[in-house]
Amino acid sequence: MMRSALARALRRLPLHARTTLVAVQIAAGWISATPANAAATPPIPNDAPTRIVERYLTALRAANYAAAFALLDDAEQAYYRNANNFASVFVADAYRVIAFRLLDARGDQTLGRVYFARETARFRDHAHDADLSVTATVPVGVVPEHGGWRVKDPGHPWRAWATSAAASGNDVRVTVEKLSFFPRRIEAVVAIENSGSNFVTVLAYGKSRLRDDAGRTYPTIVTRDWSLTDKVLFEGLHLAPHARYTGLLTFACEPLGRPGRLFSFTLAPLLIDGCDAPFAIDVPDIAPVPATRSR
């Protein structure tokens, strides 16, 4: 979604969804990320920076992520590391730009510009297992580099996976639907389904952990910043019989030089109403599902 999220309410959808109206942090924050009043908006400049932005958005619309990656500036390319990681951010949500139109441009040809594009896209809503569409105004920046112009499109994870790894215990099924990798955190979209006849209490911030095949363990980030900590799970989820909840768990990590290729997840503790013994559910073999780039 990333553009990193439409709002907290959409954080379980495309977590990086390219539908947030946020500031593009170019240079030292030299420009406001608020489009000008439509009546006073001057024409979009017909020049090299504009053409770069149009090429970038056109490449995304065509799902030509290698071409879009090549238009990013050096810092953005270093962040993603390679074109495959960049593509994964869109593929994980089946996020596909359908149409776009440039509305406004702010800045100049010295420091750069931020453009505002009206963008329509389709994406996968992991929380509700549905394909949705959205139309929103998104910012895209351009900066001068190497004697030309390059794109800045921040706010995304540097890599993302859609996955379907699941495990069950005591009539509770846990499915890890997506992993998103940021420099100091990993976000997991986790669905919890109670198929039993009793309420189940889930205290996900007790002993839940994420692990990788390199032997690293990642603890949950516990804070009252609800953009990082799922408030429902933090306060304790009381899941009714035959109910489902999809939440976002965020795990702390150091910048990963060579991240694991296979993960496992432990959700704990859980407690069935009327039972004294808490239990845990371990989800092994969390790996990417085969990608589809459009729906």
219 lies in a domain? Answer: yes
| % of residues, the chain, pLDDT over 90 | 73
Residues 186 and 75 occupy one common structural domain: no
CATH of the domain at 272: 2.60.40.1240
Please give the pLDDT value at position 162.
Answer: 94
3 lies in a domain? Answer: no
Mean pLDDT to the nearest integer, 238-249? 96
Please state which of the ranges 21-25, 46-50, 231-235 shows the lowest mean pLDDT.
Answer: 21-25
Residues 148 and 191 occupy one common structural domain: no
Residues 226 and 105 occupy one common structural domain: no
Q: Is 80 helix (H, G, I), strand (E, B) or coil?
A: helix
CATH of the domain at 39: 3.10.450.100
Residues 72 and 138 occupy one common structural domain: yes
- Please, is 187 exposed, middle or buried when counting C-beta atoms within 10 Å of its C-beta (0-12, 13-18, 19+)? buried
pLDDT above 50 for 230: yes
Mean pLDDT to the nearest integer, 83-91? 96
Residues 185 and 143 occupy one common structural domain: no
- What residues pair up with 271 in beta bridges, in sequence order? 201
**Structure confidence at residue 254 as a pLDDT band (50, 70, 90):** confident
Please give the pLDDT value at position 257.
Answer: 64
Please state which of the ranges 31-35, 50-54, 92-96, 141-145 shows the lowest mean pLDDT.
Answer: 31-35
The per-residue pLDDT for range 167-196, each reduced to its tens digit, is 999 999 999 999 999 999 999 999 999 999
Residues 142 and 269 occupy one common structural domain: no
Mean pLDDT of the chain: 86
The per-residue pLDDT for range 6-19, each reduced to its tens digit, is 333 333 334 334 33
- Per the model's pLDDT, the better-predicted residue between 19 and 134 turns out to be 134
Q: Say whether pTM exceeds 0.75.
A: yes
**Structure confidence at residue 3 as a pLDDT band (50, 70, 90):** very low
111 lies in a domain? Answer: yes
Query: Distance between CA atoms of 153 and 16, rounded to whole angstroms?
Result: 11
Please give the pLDDT value at position 187.
Answer: 95
The CA–CA distances, whole Å, from 213 to 216, 263, 285 equal: 7, 6, 9
pLDDT above 80 for 4: no
- What residues pair up with 188 in beta bridges, in sequence order? 179, 249
Residues 120 and 246 occupy one common structural domain: no
Domain of residue 254: give its range.
Answer: 160-286
Mean pLDDT to the nearest integer, 94-100? 96
Q: Where a domain ends, among 121, 156, 191?
A: 156
**Structure confidence at residue 261 as a pLDDT band (50, 70, 90):** confident
List the one residue out of 260, 266, 270, 261 whose CA is nearest residue 284.
266
Please give the pLDDT value at position 110.
Answer: 84
pLDDT above 50 for 89: yes
Which residue, chain included where needed, has tokens 């090549």?
70
Residues 258 and 273 occupy one common structural domain: yes
Helix or strand holding residue 51 (H, E)? helix 48-61
Say which residues have a Cβ less than 8 Å from residue 64's Cβ, sequence separation at least 6: none
129 lies in a domain? Answer: yes
**Structure confidence at residue 206 as a pLDDT band (50, 70, 90):** confident
Residues 17 and 129 occupy one common structural domain: yes
Say which residues have a Cβ less than 8 Å from residue 162's Cβ, sequence separation at least 6: 91, 92, 93, 94, 124, 126, 177, 178, 288, 289, 291
The beta-carbon contacts of 124-130 under 8 Å, at least 24 apart in sequence, are 124/14, 124/93, 124/94, 124/95, 124/162, 124/295, 125/13, 126/12, 126/13, 126/93, 126/162, 126/177, 126/178, 126/189, 126/191, 126/246, 127/12, 127/13, 127/189, 127/191, 127/246, 128/246
Q: Where a domain ends, among 156, 176, 209?
A: 156
- Number of domains composing the chain: 2
pLDDT above 80 for 28: no
Mean pLDDT to the nearest integer, 265-279? 96
Mean pLDDT to the nearest integer, 102-110? 91
295 lies in a domain? Answer: no
Please give the pLDDT value at position 123.
Answer: 94
Residues 139 and 172 occupy one common structural domain: no
46 lies in a domain? Answer: yes
- The tokens for 152 are 């800045």
